[in-house]
Amino acid sequence: MKVVIVDDEPLARQVVRMLVESDRELTIAGECSGVDAAEVIARERPDILFLDIQMPEVDGFEVIERVGADTVPAVVFVTAHDDYALRAFEVHALDYLLKPFDDRRFFTALSRAKERVRAKTPSTFVRRFLVRTREKVLFLKSDDLEWIEAADYYVSLHTGGKSYLLRQTMAEIERQLDPSKFVRVHRSAIVNLERVREMHPLFRGDSVLVLADGTQLRLSRARREEFERRLAGI
């Protein structure tokens, strides 16, 4: 999902950018002040817009007026003033973040924004994978996959106690899977969240995930925060 950040204060944009960049579903498509906002939005066609209200020359409401209230699927106003909440929702804003906000409040708003985008965007995630064996061709439902393992130039799809090789990279298959159901837990492993039953912390921030069938996978420290957020549906 593409994100544009509009705020006249560089420090405020940096705070939002750092939080957005922690979510692998999101890409920063642009950031600017109100003066350039309409041009950036028209060029980048973002899915989510974080928009300040009080800005010199062109404020947040003027930005919405210029681009149209329904141009961006999810608009989240970010402002230090609580006087404009009613007007913000009149122009179809999804949420209204008051500065200063904490991470939890931001990710709550972000979760709602992602849900809005998904609701307006037809699903393009793969539902079945075609796997050729010596005897036949199998059609494996993505929801039935338990976990996926890197195997040189292939990936190994694990399901029902068996594994099947598919000639794809981890990056390629990760893009095809629904991120609300599957998450990369390690450089070499993607897991179906529905199959995770336990998590055991290890030293130095790593953890071990135990799946329903007893399989144990390492959850790296760098990916733990994202994993826990996905598991909570954020």
Angle at the Cα of 89 (from 86 to 93), degrees rounded to 5?
Answer: 140
Task: Tell me the C-alpha distance between 88 and 79, whole Å.
Answer: 11
pLDDT at 71: 86
pLDDT range class, residue 189, cuts 50, 70, 90: very high
Residue 17 has pLDDT above 60, yes or no: yes
Residue of 185, 189, 196, 195 lying closest to 220 (CA atoms): 185
Per-residue model confidence (pLDDT) at position 198: 95
Instruction: Report the chain's mean pLDDT, rounded to a whole number.
Output: 91
Q: Which domains are present in the chain?
A: 2-120 (3.40.50.2300), 128-231 (2.40.50.1020)
User: How would DSSP label each residue in 83-125?
Assistant: TTHHHHHHTT-SEEEESS--HHHHHHHHHHHHHHHHHHS----
pLDDT at residue 29 in the model: 93
Percentage of the chain surpassing pLDDT 70? 98
Query: Mind listing the pLDDT tens digit for each residue in 84-117?
Result: 888 888 888 999 999 999 999 999 999 999 999 9
Number of residues that make up the chain:
234
Q: How far apart are the first and last CA of the chain?
A: 15
- Whole-number pLDDT of residue 123: 60
Mean predicted confidence (pLDDT) in 42-69: 92
Question: Using DSSP, how many helices (H) and how many strands (E) does the chain show?
Answer: 7, 15
- pLDDT of residue 146 exceeding 90, the answer is yes
- Residue range 50-61, pLDDT digits in tens: 999 999 999 999
Distance CA 165, CA 150 (A): 10
Q: Which tens digit of pLDDT belongs to each residue from 70-88?
A: 889 999 999 998 888 888 8
pLDDT of residue 124: 73
234 pLDDT more than 70: no
User: Which pLDDT score, from 0 to 100, does residue 109 have?
Assistant: 95
Q: What is the pLDDT of residue 141?
A: 94
Q: Cβ distance 184 to 192 under 8 Å? A: no
Q: What is the CA radius of gyration of the chain?
A: 21
Confidence of residue 203 (pLDDT cuts 50, 70, 90): confident
Three-class secondary structure of residue 188 per DSSP = coil
Looking at per-residue pLDDT, the higher value among 171 and 182 belongs to 182
